[in-house]
Amino acid sequence: MKLTRVSGTCRENDCPAVFESDRGTIVIQGDLVHQAEGLRLGVGEGAVEIPRALFWEATDVLGR
């Protein structure tokens, strides 16, 4: 899978970012959320946390 950075300003690849894949999907990089009220993960699933501003920046860039 090839990823293109949509938003996120870190240069070291160790901070929250949003990517678009060559498969037409969105990939989110952020801090892992292991437990949260209301969160139920299935086998093979994961959840990450990103700043709200990064989410809105990504949606603006994607134009959706």
Position 9 scores a pLDDT of 74
What share of the chain has pLDDT > 90, as a percent?
77
Tell me which long-range contacts 25-31 makes (C-beta under 8 A, separation of at least 24): 26/58, 26/62, 27/3
1-11 residue pLDDT tens: 999 999 987 77
Q: Is the pTM of this model over 0.85?
A: no
- CA 51 vs CA 7, 20, 62: distances in Å: 12, 18, 17
51, 35 Cβ separation under 8 angstroms:
no
pLDDT at 53 over 70: yes
- Segment 32-60 shows an average pLDDT of 92
Domain residue ranges of the chain, discontinuous segments joined by +: 3-62
Position 48 scores a pLDDT of 94
